[in-house]
Amino acid sequence: MTRRLSLARLLPMLAGGLLLSATLPALAQEGTAPVPPDLTDENVVGVMTKAVDEVIRPGYRAFHASAGALAKATDAFCAAPSAETRQAVDTAFRQAVAEWGRIEIVRIGPVLDDNRFERILFYPDRKSTGLKQVQALLQKQDPADADAATMGARSVAIQGFGALEFALYGTGADALMTGPESFRCRYAAAVASHIEKTAGQLVAAWDAPDGVQQHWKHPGPQNPVFRTGREAMTALLGILVHGAEAVRDQRIETFYRHGGIARPKSALFWRSGNTWVSIGANIEGLRALFDTSGMAGLIDPSFVSIGGNIDFVLKALARVTPTIDTDIEKAVSTPEEQQKIAFLLVNSRDLIERLNGEYGTAMGLGAGFSFADGD
């Protein structure tokens, strides 16, 4: 059983410059409140344009490029298994996981069409549906299951990163080195190719000049997506809130909770040692969207600390995450690593509250509105 870590046990981390969010400055004098901005269509165009052109579209392009590199590396490994080609696959897999993690936070728009999100990452998989299907597929060894051209017509559970990770790193993966063009490797190559294809579809959808990017950049009465600037900003902030929630609830608490039983094998990417790569990339994506879009610039100038505090917490999370042991078994059982995970849990909750409460209030959302509830 893991125990709830006290603040006193977290204090040694402060020596490394990692400040708890409780040390952040107060927002303003007691009794004052920020004056909400006038979220007219014109006022939010700049923010939405930066979000689309400087974060979202480049993010999908980077993911597509990394997925292509992964597909190429996997093909080369299957053709000639060796320590060198295996290392190339490991590197490409890690990079693709990172690039996906940065843009994964955008759980809205084209990625929801045709189940693309699930085709890329079928998670959480609480009933181990994907694992069971992949294990059965590898046991059966039907050549049709290793055909990238027909992969899209099959179960989403066998198409994405989870399936690819098991093929490359799961039980029996040592057999990949025994000879060229094994069924398991050809299946892995097909999955990698399909991830690249899906990533390409997302790039195309966001790059179409009269499509989703136009709808996001220019809210208005005739816009089928955002009729007002307020709706557009609500969606943008919603990405951040839900992204922060996913880091805490779906990425960390699925395998580690205070006072609960640790379940390291429930962690995403535990087999490949990329759990913290993925989580760190999620945090990087959140920070990039908040900072680059200029969202903080809409806040009442007397309350600029709202944006500064959010960025402070994001930086702290980004500093700690890559320092945690990549071996999840060790991470959840070693006191020093537990302290770091507890730090992430405490501060990710604080981040959610600052985004959902402080920034949301500063934007003039009515009482009772909660991004966290999806309202």
pLDDT digits (tens, 9 = 90+) for 111-145: 999 999 999 999 988 889 999 999 999 999 999 99
Paired tokens of 213: 């990017």
Query: pLDDT band at 6, cuts 50/70/90?
Result: very low
The model carries a pTM of 0.91
- Taking 3-state DSSP, the helix, strand and coil percentages for the chain, each rounded to the nearest 5, stand at 70, 0, 30
219, amino acid identity: P
Burial class (CB in 10 A: 0-12, 13-18, 19+), 6: exposed
Paired tokens of 132: 């069971």
For 91, the enclosing helix (H) or strand (E) is helix 83-104
Q: Given this model, what pLDDT does residue 365 score?
A: 63
Distance CA 313, CA 177 (A): 44
Paired tokens of 99: 């690039």
Asked if the model's pLDDT at residue 245 lies above 90, the reply is yes
Q: Given this model, what pLDDT does residue 41 score?
A: 79
Residue-wise pLDDT for 166-192, tens only, equals 999 999 999 999 999 999 999 999 999
Mean of per-residue pLDDT scores for the chain: 90
Distance CA 362, CA 355 (A): 10
Residue-wise pLDDT for 192-240, tens only, equals 999 999 999 999 999 999 999 999 999 999 999 999 999 999 999 999 9
3-state secondary structure of 148: helix
Distance CA 21, CA 316 (A): 9
Asked if the model's pLDDT at residue 43 lies above 90, the reply is no
Q: Given this model, what pLDDT does residue 20 score?
A: 54
Q: What contacts 288, CB < 8 A, 6 or more positions away?
A: 55, 59, 102
Query: Phi and psi (nearest 5°) for 343?
Result: -60, -45
Are 214 and 57 in contact, with CB atoms under 8 Å apart?
A: no
